[in-house]
């Protein structure tokens, strides 16, 4: 006689997976600083007017230094009023879309492993660091927005 598992085992497995998914996403949101930023900067609307966009595909965004990586799930949009950040829907739990005004963002550049990055410090009070590639920053026109002169080639 064959042993059959009770009908509730697949439902229990599904429930456990969903619970783990939610807890993991909320945890990453808190560790990355997204949760902290959402307290003041939750987006109430989509960007309007002209804006530049990068991601989510093939865009890697690092939060809180270099160890917490969001790979190919973050979309950045630079509008005239603010920087808009959003996460792809399956990962959005605990990550509401953000709208951070330009006057709440400071800018710097860094080099790690021979690669140049742009570091945006988000929120004057929160000071959450976000690192993106120079190429992504150029697509968003961040270097010009932040009134920073790019270094001449070869220096």
Position 22 pLDDT exceeds 90: yes
Q: How confident is the model at residue 2 (pLDDT cuts 50, 70, 90)?
A: low
* 93-123 residue pLDDT tens: 999 999 999 999 999 999 888 889 999 999 9
CA distance 104 to 127: 9
* 27-61 residue pLDDT tens: 999 999 999 999 999 999 998 888 999 988 889 99
107, 119 in Cβ contact below 8 A? yes
Burial bucket for residue 126 (CB in 10 Å: 0-12, 13-18, 19+):
middle
Q: Between 34-41 and 8-32, two packed helices, what is the crossing angle to 10 degrees?
A: 70
**pLDDT at site 48:** 85
**pLDDT at site 147:** 56
Q: How many CB atoms are closer than 10 A to CB 16?
A: 10
Domains and CATH numbers, the chain: 34-145 (2.30.29.30)
């Amino acid at each position: 006689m064959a042993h059959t598992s009770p009908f509730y085992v697949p439902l229990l497995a599904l429930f456990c997976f969903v619970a783990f998914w939610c807890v993991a996403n909320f945890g990453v949101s808190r560790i990355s600083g997204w949760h902290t930023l959402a307290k003041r900067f939750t987006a109430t609307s989509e960007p309007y007017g002209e804006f530049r966009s990068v991601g989510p595909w093939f865009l890697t965004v690092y939060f809180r230094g270099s160890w917490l990586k969001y790979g190919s799930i973050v979309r950045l949009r630079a509008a005239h009023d603010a920087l808009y950040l959003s996460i792809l829907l399956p990962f959005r739990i605990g990550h509401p879309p953000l709208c951070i005004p330009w006057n709440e963002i400071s800018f710097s550049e860094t080099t790690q492993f021979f690669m140049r990055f742009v570091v945006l410090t988000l929120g004057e009070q929160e000071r959450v660091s976000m690192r993106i590639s120079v190429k992504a920053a150029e697509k968003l026109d961040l270097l010009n927005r932040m009134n920073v002169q790019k270094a001449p080639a070869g220096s």
